[in-house]
Structure 1
Amino acid sequence: MSRTVTASAKHPVDEIPRLDKLFPLGLQHVLAMYAGAIAVPLIVGGALGYSSADIAFLISADLFVAGVATLIQSIGFWRFGVRLPLMQGVTFAAVGPMIAIGNQYDITAIFGATIACGLFMIALAPVFSSILRFFPPLVTGTVIMIIGLSLMGVAAGWITNNEPSAQPRDLAFAAGTLIFIILLEKFAPPSVARVSVLLGLVVGTIVAIPFDMVDWSGVGEAGWFAVITPLHFGFPTFPIAAVISMLVVGLVIMTETTGDMLAVGEIVDKPVGRRQLGDGLRADGLSTVLGGLFNTFPYTAFAQNVGLVSLTQVKSRWVTAMSGLILIALGLVPKVAAIVEGVPRAVLGGAGIALFGMVVAAGVRTLVKVHFTNTNVLVVAISVGIALLPTVQPEIYANFPSWFQLIFHSGISAGALAAILLNLLLNRDQMNEDHVAAAHETRAIPKSLNRPDVVRQAEAREASREAELAHGSSAESTEGDPRR
């Protein structure tokens, strides 16, 4: 009887909390990712010289599609969606390539390359698990670290207003915002510290009002409700070099999302199998296609919200579905985007140091899993060096063809390509993991896509157990198997 009851009970992932709990829990997820969610349209729109109204529209479109993407990933339909508590937002990995594309062509080329990237991700989703061995922690950690390092130039540009040097007042506000965020992280309760960057932006903006640094002139003109119209900036274009550059970003996105899905599956005690992984990656691709159509950018799972699930132990996917509805509602209110666009650039710069620094730290945290031989040190060193060349010397590729500049002028895509190729070249003997799939089927190793080191440990335990049985081990030694 007890077994029947247990089998019929809902998994915590599928339970729907009461509305009085559902809304605040969903709002908490929105607050945890909001600063990161709005950063990309602010960066790209500002880099391409768009007006306040256009940047506000980009923010609204971003929030709207992020909400839709979160619903697809959390609730799912047919073969789209991992059906776990994941929040979706625009990836920082695409920032450098998109700015390069926008400067070389225009924003319609960014949207076209985004659509192509999404279709590529949908097509590759069913087989991506088979090529995960090309993206070990050495590669993914290096790429994530490069993303954060490359974005530091954006934070500096906010502080200096893209001038050669910063004004003392701007530098003071950036430093004050950063110090406030640090103090929150150190002394505030965990529930407050999780939204330290967002609170830093709010407090910094309030303090800046008496100094006439806040421009909210567009708030009065913005409406209370608007429809996010597709193709607002024109029909997408598809330059080959732009598409290739964004396909590299697509591989990075899929690797990043895979890690987040595996992590959240372990946290909620619902391991992700190959089919479920493919469904989740397919949902990322669909959301990215929608992003290109609705005037925004490529989407991925947000790691900070995975951490929030781990911290709160609230496992219901309907909580993040509520978060998706909140994001959609925010996206449909233009005044919200206009308020965000009015935040002083110096305050954004101070918060950006923390925000982009967290991205660097996430890469370092991934690299901690790596055994650093001289070869692995070389892979990281050369990849980071190649990535930072266009950051420290922006005109280094000025005499090269436009297609070359599009791919290599972005330190992110150049560094990602370098990390992948160097790992293939220098660590070829470690890439032969084809036997892992067979081990999953013939031995009792969980079918969730474990990291290669975890798989090797499981295989070693299984081999030890088989050896003990072959030598007539007792029943007690079988019961002591650490996998049981």
Structure 2
Amino acid sequence: MHPHSTATPDGVHPVDQILPWHRLLALGLQHVLVMYAGTVAVPLIVGGALGLPKEQLAFLINADLFAAGIATLIQAIAFWKFGIRLPVMMGVTFAAVAPMIALGTDPSIGLLGIYGAVIAAGVFGILVAPLMGRLLGLFPPVVTGSVITLIGVSLLGVGIHWAAGGQPVVHQVVDGVARSVPNPAYGQPLHLALAGGVLALILVLAKFGRGLVGNIAVLLGIVAGTLAAMALGRVGFDGVAQADWFALTTPFHFGMPTFHAGAIVSMCIVMLITLVESTGMFLALSDIVGRKLSTEDLTRGLRADGLGTVIGGVFNTFPYTSFSQNVGLVTVTGVRSRYVAAAGGVLLIVLGLFPKLAHIVASVPQFVLGGAGIVMFGMVAATGIRILGTVDFGRNRHNLFIVAVAIGCGMIPTLAPRFFQYLPQWTEAVTHSGIVLGTLVAVVLNFFFNGIESRENALRAAAATAQGTE
């Protein structure tokens, strides 16, 4: 925790201090490196699950970096009623991954339906931002911990399949008939060995790496795994030579978004979870940098989350939130200037303008990503478990029922996809997404057993939870 000094010797608060350009560039680059693996992971996960070709995956990566940079600038610099004016880096939230895969693989919704839902959820986030102080009571740690644990456990299936080299079955069309056949590449010893090697290297770097090396262990593991796969001839760089060196990310690249009520409900629930997480992060960060937040400051930050999500939908990417690992980096470096985050935002925008780089990233084999995915998705689940560690299970045994039933119900769509097959189609917005189903169950059961927490207790719990996840 940093001392709560109110100003530098020249009378400027450390948060508002503009550092020399070379320091801004170096510190901003460090922020980008810390978040890069997590930032590009989401388009790779969602695009891979939707079966998009490499050139479209590369476009998603560029769009993601570009929109993340814009959202970061809005949060750090602020304009009108948007932006919290703290050193916040913005990236795509993992909370949206599982619901987006479920929506995107539904033929009636698809990628354009995801973008419509993301835009609608962003507008919803802007509108509800002033009400979050009252809604926080519905999301105490027993609820957010259960939901984040469920998100991580649901995503682990993606990472495990990646490590084995793809999906266990592939779809082929033979003589005009679609068939599902076993994937011969699935589980090959080479895939498992390289995925295991990436995982082992990440763990070694996390234990022995110091400073920046330890912070970017996941990124270094992916780079090393890709180099090893290249040496074995298992990386295809087709399309890299043909990719442009420079290109602008254009709005609605894949077409005009479509809007489906069920998809919008799913993403709005994800947006609520994201706003609760962001509230905790903002409160924790304000304590770290020594700047007290007003209710209006908090609202401005949450509005920027919503606006960033709208920008994401327009520029062909996904919902945005503050990245917790970058909040931790503020603690590690002791640098509190919001202009460092702004410099990181500019670098993200610049990186989003180079398709050739994105093609290279999109060429990373799935089995290499699998080794890192087990770490990343497992860390999401571990974060949820850590939040649950702050919950009182001793004096309030009802909390055990909330966690047990919420996670149990949330796993139904993953473990038994046909469980709800005879229910009406309008229920699919809830029953097809384990995250949505688990969240609703957790909120309802918490209300039944515990009621609604006061605003003051909810704010304290949110700040404590955010600090506990660093």
Work out whether the TM-score is over 0.5. yes
**Aligned twin of 1:427:** 450
1:199 is matched by which residue type in structure 2? L
TM value normalised by structure 2 = 0.90
Q: Residues 401 and 98 (structure 1 numbering): CA distance in 2 closer, same or farther, change over 3 Å?
A: farther
Mapped contact 2:148–2:383 kept (Cα < 8 A): yes
Mapped contact 2:265–2:429 kept (Cα < 8 A): no
Unpaired runs of 5+ residues, structure 2, are 1-5, 170-185, 465-470
Tell me the CA shift for residue 453 of structure 1.
10
Tell me the CA shift for residue 449 of structure 1.
4.0
The alignment yields a C-alpha RMSD, in angstroms, of 2.0
Mapped contact 2:248–2:353 kept (Cα < 8 A): yes
**Aligned twin of 1:162:** 167
> Which of 290, 300, 304 is matched with 1:269 structurally?
290
> Which of 120, 127, 135 is matched with 1:123 structurally?
127
Q: Tell me whether 1:182 sits opposite 2:203 in the alignment.
A: yes
2:53 is matched by which residue type in structure 1? S
User: What is the DSSP-based 3-state SS (H/G/I as helix, E as strand, rest coil) of the residue aligned with 1:300?
Assistant: strand
**Aligned twin of 1:461:** none
For the residues of structure 1 that align with 2:254 and 2:419, how far apart are their CA atoms? 31
For the residues of structure 1 that align with 2:418 and 2:43, how far apart are their CA atoms? 24
For the residues of structure 1 that align with 2:239 and 2:421, how far apart are their CA atoms? 37
**Aligned twin of 1:59:** 61
Q: Residues 101 and 453 (structure 1 numbering): CA distance in 2 closer, same or farther, change over 3 Å?
A: closer
**Aligned twin of 1:14:** 16
Mapped contact 1:389–1:411 kept (Cα < 8 A): yes
**Aligned twin of 2:47:** 45
Matched residue count: 439
TM value normalised by structure 1 = 0.87
For the residues of structure 2 that align with 1:259 and 1:157, how far apart are their CA atoms? 33
For the residues of structure 1 that align with 2:209 and 2:141, how far apart are their CA atoms? 32
Report 1:244-255 matches (<5 A): 244-255=265-276
Mapped contact 2:276–2:462 kept (Cα < 8 A): no
2:102 is matched by which residue type in structure 1? A
1:26 is matched by which residue type in structure 2? G
For the residues of structure 2 that align with 1:55 and 1:126, how far apart are their CA atoms? 36
2:76 is matched by which residue type in structure 1? S
For the residues of structure 2 that align with 1:396 and 1:193, how far apart are their CA atoms? 43
Q: Residues 213 and 397 (structure 1 numbering): CA distance in 2 closer, same or farther, change over 3 Å?
A: farther
Mapped contact 1:66–1:324 kept (Cα < 8 A): yes
For the residues of structure 2 that align with 1:303 and 1:30, how far apart are their CA atoms? 13
> Which of 356, 368, 379 is matched with 2:402 structurally?
379
**Aligned twin of 1:367:** 388
User: What is the DSSP-based 3-state SS (H/G/I as helix, E as strand, rest coil) of the residue aligned with 2:259?
Assistant: coil
Mapped contact 2:283–2:462 kept (Cα < 8 A): no
User: CA-to-partner distance for each residue in 1:154-199, whole Å, 9 max, x for gaps?
Assistant: 1022123101651111111111100000111111113211100000
2:323 is matched by which residue type in structure 1? F
For the residues of structure 1 that align with 2:463 and 2:355, how far apart are their CA atoms? 48
Q: Tell me whether 1:88 sits opposite 2:90 in the alignment.
A: yes
User: CA-to-partner distance for each residue in 1:12-49, whole Å, 9 max, x for gaps?
Assistant: 00001111211111011111111111111111111111
User: CA-to-partner distance for each residue in 1:250-295, whole Å, 9 max, x for gaps?
Assistant: 1001001111111111100112221101000000111111111110
Report 1:348-427 matches (<5 A): 348-372=369-393, 373-427=396-450
Tell me the CA shift for residue 222 of structure 1.
1.0
User: What is the DSSP-based 3-state SS (H/G/I as helix, E as strand, rest coil) of the residue aligned with 2:411?
Assistant: helix
Mapped contact 1:272–1:449 kept (Cα < 8 A): no
User: What is the DSSP-based 3-state SS (H/G/I as helix, E as strand, rest coil) of the residue aligned with 2:12?
Assistant: coil
**Percent identity (aligned):** 50
Q: Residues 399 and 336 (structure 1 numbering): CA distance in 2 closer, same or farther, change over 3 Å?
A: farther
For the residues of structure 2 that align with 1:95 and 1:407, how far apart are their CA atoms? 15
Mapped contact 1:115–1:288 kept (Cα < 8 A): yes
**Aligned twin of 2:348:** 327
Q: Tell me whether 1:140 sits opposite 2:144 in the alignment.
A: yes
> Which of 132, 149, 154 is matched with 2:153 structurally?
149
User: CA-to-partner distance for each residue in 1:40-72, whole Å, 9 max, x for gaps?
Assistant: 111111111111111110111000000000000
Q: Pick which of 285-294 and 160-169 moved more.
A: 160-169
Q: Residues 168 and 313 (structure 1 numbering): CA distance in 2 closer, same or farther, change over 3 Å?
A: same
Mapped contact 1:97–1:407 kept (Cα < 8 A): no
For the residues of structure 2 that align with 1:377 and 1:450, how far apart are their CA atoms? 22
**Aligned twin of 1:450:** 460
User: CA-to-partner distance for each residue in 1:115-172, whole Å, 9 max, x for gaps?
Assistant: 1000000001112112211111111111111111110011022123101651111111
Tell me the CA shift for residue 410 of structure 1.
1.9
User: What is the DSSP-based 3-state SS (H/G/I as helix, E as strand, rest coil) of the residue aligned with 2:390?
Assistant: coil
User: What is the DSSP-based 3-state SS (H/G/I as helix, E as strand, rest coil) of the residue aligned with 2:310?
Assistant: helix
For the residues of structure 2 that align with 1:398 and 1:214, how far apart are their CA atoms? 40
Answer with 1 or 2: which has the greater Rg: 1
User: What is the DSSP-based 3-state SS (H/G/I as helix, E as strand, rest coil) of the residue aligned with 1:162?
Assistant: coil
User: CA-to-partner distance for each residue in 1:372-393, whole Å, 9 max, x for gaps?
Assistant: 1311111111111111122222
Mapped contact 2:68–2:349 kept (Cα < 8 A): yes
For the residues of structure 2 that align with 1:399 and 1:168, how far apart are their CA atoms? 40
